[in-house]
Structure 1
Amino acid sequence: MKKIEPDTQALKKKKSLPDSYVILFAMLVVASISTWFIPAGSFERTTEGSVAMVVPDSYVSLPSTPTTLYDFFLSIQSGLTDSAGIIFLVLTIGGAFAILDYTGAIQAGIMQLIKKTRDRKYALIVVVSIAFSAAGFIGALQTAVIAFIPIGIIIAKAFKLDAIAGVAIIYLGAYAGYTIGGLDPITTGFGQEIAGLPVFSGLWFRFLVYLCILASTVLYLCHYISKISKDPSRSVLGAIPFPAEVENTNTIPDEFNSKHKVVLGYFTTCMVGYIVGVFNLGWGLNEMAALFLVISLGTAVIDKISANQYVTLFVKGAQGMLYAALIVGLARAIVVVLSDANVLDTIVNSMAILLQPLSSIFAAWGMYAFNLAFNLIISSASGQAAIVMPVMAPLADTIGLTRQVAVLAYNFGDGFTNIITPTSGILMASIAIGGVPWVKWLKFVFPLLLIWMAIGAIALGIAVAINLGPF
């Protein structure tokens, strides 16, 4: 009886942990209440292309429009509607991967790779993480990372790790590069364009910071994997390394046959085609969702899956992603509430007033801290740039900072907290695909976030010291 009691206590503790939906709903309540206390205000905006950017020094107070009970519930519907692109992408990915999972091609391919590397677990994981970070550095994987989370889960299963490791190998790998965004047109390119800097200037400095972020991420991942490999009970997920919905997948085939090779070749060709489309045709979420339909249909033809069986598999796969899909809309509802109440511009304007009297180094760190916090509300890089950079760029001039430093402060602030912010549809969908509760993910990743933040603070200090310019 004494041996059973601790397990019972652990089970009760696990049951008491709030679900991600509960956490987001509580945040939505707090955001709604805050609209009754934060003054409403707005900057004037000009439209360049399809993006509305604020006009510096144009802030004016507006009549207060706090969130009513009716607005509160309507915001959830608005959040779902605004996030329709990501929601349908997640559902489509679920359906497509159910077809791929049925063929066993990805599982067999990964097992073949493991055999060829002679069970060099860390080498394989490091290579995968570095490859995804490189894709993140050039801006190819901001939203596409969701599509690869199931592959990370398969790798984690093959090495007998846990779901957190599976998500982290892919997500943290990609975001180790995306946080710096050296060649990302949406984050760095857009931010520098607003600041009047040459696009992708200061690349040498960003690349050095990227190497530091990547090294810390890889070492952190390897440390966690080593810890749970030696003692599975030290997993953040406890005694259940993979939730039931993630665990219930097909067994890994013993043989990597020619049909598997054709399926993987077809999948790879489609993904390469998407990356080409991103850079040359401006493809986004809708094109990716359409592409996964093409992937699922082509895979069904290759594996000779009947039409009825295809529908059954696809719908079952999409159903398995429903939790991940709907959570994106609830996260977006928080932004809807704050935006409709006209308090976001008030927050940005207050930041500018607070930073203006500070010395250059403390002002740079202040911009950095503000963007870290502001990203918890506005997780969209382009959205944050459009609101913040038109204010921060001229503010940097008056304080004595280079505009390159201002862009770095925005970049780091926008990037780093993307790995924890519950208002990010990409993050919430990614961890939900792995069946990882947000609280558990936060416990796992928070020490790494502190490391990243320290690296960012040091890098900003150096940038101020050397008066980092546009080239």
Structure 2
Amino acid sequence: MANQAPSPAANPQNKVPLPDTLVIIFFVALAAMLLTYLVPVGSFETQEIHYLADGVEKQRSVVDPSSFRYSLDEAGEHLKQPVALFEGGGGIGFFNFAFEGLTSGSKWGTAIGVIMFMLVIGGAFGIVMETGTIDNGIMRLIDKTQGNERLFIPVLFILFSLGGAVFGMGEEAIAFAIIICPLMIRLGFDGITTVMVTYVATQVGFASSWMNPFSVAIAQGIAGIPVLSGAGVRGLMWAGFTLMGVIFTMRYGARIQANPQSSLCYESDRYFREHHETNKLQSRFNLGDILVLLAILLTVIWVIWGVVANAWFIPEIASQFFAMGIVVGMIAVIFRLNGMTLNRMATSFKQGAGTMLEPALLVGCASGILLLLGGGKPDEPSVLNTLLNSAGSLIGQLPAVASAWFMLLFQSVFNFFVTSGSGQAALTMPLMAPLADIVGVSRQVAVLAFQLGDGFTNVLVPTSASLMATLGVCRVDWGVWLKFIWRFILVLFLVSSLVVVGAHYLGFA
């Protein structure tokens, strides 16, 4: 079935082609530039707050909600800072946005840190894949699970959802997707299924978590309510949303297994099918393969421990996977797996990193959109700060239940610009918490609206570096992904709306 030619109905030539992801990002950037000609800039003052998390006092710099001021020109009028087509001296012009986006951030986050993370783990797993161990291991696994392939979906989805809920798993899903995607396709699923059981599952857990240290804990600390309070209600919420994700993915997976050509990414999955064909003549599985798999397993356990116990982030995780690649390569050289040599190790690393160049470009260009709007710093004049203040003023004039729902809607939209959970909490929660008091919404409900709005739209917005990287690994174009995921996002938003409104009426505090 996998080698059968696509039917005329499934032939992409008979359909209107979807715009490339880079085309979509370009026009979104153009819209952001035009917005700077219409919206004046403003800024907030910041303040340090202290809160308890896990019995430890922590502090964070957040906006002062009463300090917003428009920037004024010499005539005392609201100042606009329109973005020009070009800007010298390291400034942000429209045609600068790609380069500036690619070089923005630090090694601790978007964009340059995420891009380097992708290149390093891409290279490391390039060595792993070149050994042939994963291909042969997958074939053995398939042979032993005949008739039970669909169980992979709920097991993987629940595990990744737990990762998102417990320690904010997100970027880590990229590395797992590299291994899991070939497995899912050979089980009769597709690249979209892989994205669902890895990255989407982490964000379902992230959004509905009872203890996420990067969203729930920080948001509650900023809102001035006990950190990790309401965990019982959120635990039930996590179980419900995770079950929704499992059912949605299993139904989709069953349809793809029945008719692989109905997949929106059937053509892009050809890479994995053809790669399988070139390797399937091998049937070895020896001590070298066992040691390779053991090295991968120990690295994963080590990384999870580091993230949970020592708050490792992008630099530390990348370093561990780089070390894993070297160890796996040396094992392959010693046991002559696929005729591995030191030179072939180097070539495999470069080829693996090369597969990450396309998603890396998308990550950088998407990050440039935020720069066009003035960046995400609250104490520097920007269009984004003005939009944030205007949204807060609008919500403060609404009835209580409408305010609760609009908080959810606002957080969902604002996540397009600031996809970092902790960053969005620092920007929005100092505004939403006092607004909740004014309109009669509990601060617990305001935090609930924040975490649901912040988390779920991470599986949709092209400005999410982790999403774009996972899509790139699975060779799924963002336009194709949008065509698939909008139904699931709509269901998530409708259920989230019911949860927020219900929590308000039931007095969740």
Return the TM-score normalized by structure 2. 0.87
Change (3 A) 1:286 1:108: same
1:462 alignment partner AA: G
CA distance in 1 between counterparts of 2:326 and 2:434 reads 52
| Gap change, CA 1:68 and 1:47, over 3 Å in 2 | farther
- Choose the corresponding residue for 2:385, options 325, 328, 345: 345
Deviations, residues 159-210 of structure 1 (Å, cap 9, x unaligned): 1222212222212222221122322111111111111122211111111111
* C-alpha distance 423-246 of structure 1, shift in aligned 2 (>3 A): farther
Match of 1:223 in 2: 251
**1:312 alignment counterpart:** 347
- 1:309-336 deviation per Cα after TM superposition (whole angstroms, max 9, x unaligned): 1111100111111101121100100111
Instruction: Name the CA distance, whole Å, in 1 between partners of 2:455 and 2:387.
Output: 19
Of 76, 79, 93, the match for 2:98: 76
Q: Is the 8 A contact 2:268 2:476 kept in 1?
A: no
State the one-letter code of the partner of 1:212. G
Post-superposition offset of 1:140: 4.4
- Residue 467 of structure 2 corresponds to 427
The 10-residue stretch of structure 1 (98-107 or 325-334) with the greater mean CA deviation from structure 2? 98-107
Give the conservation status (yes or no) of the 8 Å contact 1:235–1:241: no
Query: Structure 2 vs 1, CA of residues 183 and 246 (structure 1 numbering), >3 Å: closer, same or farther?
Result: farther
1: CA distance between counterparts of 2:180 and 2:205? 17
250, 258, 275: which is aligned to 1:248?
275
Change (3 A) 1:24 1:143: same
Change (3 A) 1:19 1:449: same
Tell me how far 1:263 sits from its aligned partner.
Answer: 1.3
The alignment status of 1:270 with 2:294, answered yes or no, reads no
Corresponding residue of 2:488: 448
Residue 169, structure 1, aligned to residue 213, structure 2: no
2:436–2:446 contact (8 Å) kept in structure 1: yes
C-alpha distance in 2, partners of 1:113/1:465? 49
In 2, Cα distance between equivalents of 1:156 and 1:32: 41
Q: Deviation of residue 47 (structure 1)?
A: 4.8
Identify the range of structure 1 (158-167 vs 359-368) with the bigger mean alpha-carbon deviation: 158-167
Q: What are the equivalent positions in structure 2 for 1:35-434 lying under 5 Å apart?
A: 35-47=36-48, 52-62=61-71, 63-70=79-86, 71-82=93-104, 83-238=111-266, 240=267, 242-244=269-271, 247-248=274-275, 251-252=279-280, 253-304=282-333, 305-340=340-375, 342-434=382-474
Count residues with an aligned counterpart. 465
Aligned-partner SS, 1:388: helix
What amino acid maps onto 2:13 in structure 1?
L
CA distance in 2, matches of 1:216, 1:190: 26
In structure 1, what is the Cα distance between the partners aligned to 2:273 and 2:207? 28
- Structure-2 change in CA distance of 1:4 and 1:270 (3 Å): closer
Question: How much identity, in percent, do the aligned residues show?
Answer: 34
Name the SS of the counterpart of 1:421 in structure 2: coil
SS in 1 for 2:188: coil
Normalized per residue, which structure has more helix?
1
For 1:112-156, what per-residue CA distance to the aligned partner results, in whole angstroms no more than 9, with x for missing partners?
333333430111221111111111111242211111111221222
Q: Do the aligned partners of residues 200 and 114 (structure 1) sit closer, same or farther apart at CA in structure 2, a change above 3 Å counting?
A: farther
> Which letter does structure 2 place at the counterpart of 1:203?
A
Deviation of 1:31 after TM superposition, in Å, equals 0.6
Q: CA deviation at 1:422?
A: 0.7
The SS at the match of 1:138 is helix
Q: How big is each residue's C-alpha offset from its partner over 1:88-135, in whole Å with a ceiling of 9 and x where there is no partner?
A: 111112111111112223333333333333430111221111111111
Q: Normalising to structure 1: TM-score of the pair?
A: 0.93
Over 4 Å off, 4+ runs: 3-9, 47-51
Q: Which runs of 5+ in 2 are unaligned?
A: 50-57, 72-78, 87-92, 105-110, 334-339, 376-380
SS of structure 2 residue aligned to 1:64: coil
Mapped partners of 1:389, 1:466: distance in 2: 22
| Distance in structure 2 (CA, Å) of the matches to 1:336 and 1:441 | 25
Q: Which amino acid aligns with 1:339?
A: G
CA contact (8 A) 1:246 1:434 kept: no
Change (3 A) 1:227 1:47: same
1:227/1:204 CA distance change after superposition, 3 Å: same
The alpha-carbon distance between structure 1 residues 4 and 135, as it changes in their structure 2 partners (threshold 3 A), is closer
